[in-house]
Structure 1
Amino acid sequence: MNRILLEVIATTPEDAHIAEAAGADRIELICAQGEGGLTPSIGMVEQIVSQIAIPVHVMVRPHSRSFTYDGEELECMLRDIRYFANSGVTALVLGVLDANGHIDEVALQRMIDVASEQRDGIQITFHRAFDEVIDLQQSIQVLGQYSSITRILTSGGRPSVLEAAAAFPELIRVAEQHSLSLIAGAGLTLDTLADFVRQTGVREVHLGSAVRQQGNIDLPLDAERIRHARQILDACVEPN
């Protein structure tokens, strides 16, 4: 069975343990979920990486004002990257744009260089900064030039991924041509998950409030909701 991967947002050690026990394939570790996710603390990363076995992808994002960063902000991100790349995380989650809505390749290359200097083979997910670019397909081609970038977290350029369902199959096709996987995130619920996966053919999904208690972004993860999501995804896979 070709498993559809379930990524769950975690903001605390409790979240991380719940996600692992309930069947999530990996966590995206962040703070400030209400701001779209910011860089978590070093102590949080250390503790969670030492305690759970599933992959930990950690956010590197210093503020939520934009995805364009000045020199000092970039230096702060590079410091975080140096540390996290040596902390045992599986992947870094980052993204950077220029003022014109294009991927800032100069800054991105610096981030990749620093990450690879610390640990060869560390994976990078380009986060939802991607959804603010001028041209999604052209940006996929740009990101495909970097071998350490393995995934793009995206809502298809729309506020909710559900609004981009019709466009997703073509985005997936272009991404696969460049050895990239798309993670569908933002706006998915347990009620819409099955139809979205079947319509788009996406192989990785990213859930936040959908798997929290009462569907509330401010409450802890809900193990039953995660198990339900896992069951839905498994039911979407055709037996071999």
Structure 2
Amino acid sequence: MSVLLEVIATTVADARVAVQAGADRLELVTAMGEGGLTPSVGLIEAVVAAVAIPAATVPVNVIVRPHSRSFVYDADDYAVMLRDVRAFKAAGANGIVIGMLNADGEIDRDGLARAIDAADGMVITFHRAFDESRDLREALDVLLGFDAVTNVLTSGGKPSALHAQATIRELVRQARGSRCTVLAGAGLTVDAIAGFVSATQVEAVHFGSGVRVGSNGLAPVDAEKVAQVRALLKAMPSAAQGG
């Protein structure tokens, strides 16, 4: 089985191009320059409809992040987030991408539990709030205790995942055998991806700027780059065969 390729989409056109070029899954966001914020229900409905190809519907996971100030949320933030989670399920999202910390830099377990409850069976990706947690190994242990969390998006605590290969490999080892996949993202490039996957043994990768025109986060998705990454990942031996 080849490594899963998730691509960030910010528009319906992005979503169509990414899927046609070989993306296995989409993360739908707005405001990519701020690390991704909650998109509108209208955009979600339009993207879900656009990628509902017969016999090959691509899952659309939607970020739930009301602002970019921090990952520590107050009661009002949670009220908004939980309303969004319920709305996104109704809009046809496959899952949500969410993350929350407490003031001590630990996973906010209560907040996560409330989000899971609101998700009502949708899969959960815990996003890069994880990278701002005080202790990555400890944070992953907490997340492994939540069956609904099926992915943890991480750059290994560094601005670029390419600079945290040893850490990511350790996290992959820690999660092995669980329901949760380490989804490596941030700073990945077409040129570096094969070596990165080989070094870390990740089973899923997440691309944003790296598969956009000019590697610019505000530019459209580049079909050729997505296709290149897809081909490189397909050509690799299964991560399960690695050490």
Structures share fold, TM-score greater than 0.5: yes
Identical amino acids, percent of aligned pairs: 50
Aligned to 2:34: 35
Aligned to 2:72: 68
CA offsets, 1:118-173, max 9 Å, x none?
xxx31000000000111111111111111111010000111111111012221101
Aligned to 1:225: 225
Contact 2:3–2:238 (Cα < 8 Å) also in 1 = no
TM-score, length of structure 1 as denominator length:
0.95
Distance between the aligned counterparts of 1:114 and 1:196, measured in 2? Answer: 35
TM-score, length of structure 2 as denominator length:
0.94
Distance between the aligned counterparts of 1:115 and 1:187, measured in 2? Answer: 29
Contact 1:184–1:205 (Cα < 8 Å) also in 2 = yes
Counterpart residue type for residue 155 of structure 2: S
Aligned to 2:111: 107
Distance between the aligned counterparts of 2:141 and 2:177, measured in 1? Answer: 9
Aligned to 2:54: none
CA offsets, 1:65-113, max 9 Å, x none?
1001111011000100011122211110000000110001111111111
Aligned to 2:12: 13
Distance between the aligned counterparts of 2:117 and 2:209, measured in 1? Answer: 34
Q: Which runs of 5+ in 1 are unaligned?
A: none
What secondary structure, in the 3-state scheme, does the structure 2 residue paired with 1:24 have? coil
Distance between the aligned counterparts of 2:182 and 2:238, measured in 1? Answer: 20
Contact 1:4–1:237 (Cα < 8 Å) also in 2 = no
Distance 1:148 1:163, change over 3 A: same
Size of the aligned set, in residue pairs, is 235
CA RMSD in angstroms, aligned pairs only: 1.4
Segments ≥4 residues shifted beyond 4 Å: none
Aligned to 1:55: 59
Counterpart residue type for residue 50 of structure 1: A
Distance between the aligned counterparts of 2:154 and 2:96, measured in 1? Answer: 15
Q: CA deviation at 1:237?
A: 2.3
CA offsets, 1:174-211, max 9 Å, x none?
11243210000001111111110111111100001111
Contact 2:2–2:236 (Cα < 8 Å) also in 1 = no
Picking from 78, 84, 98, the partner of 1:80 is 84
Aligned to 2:137: 137
Contact 2:27–2:62 (Cα < 8 Å) also in 1 = yes
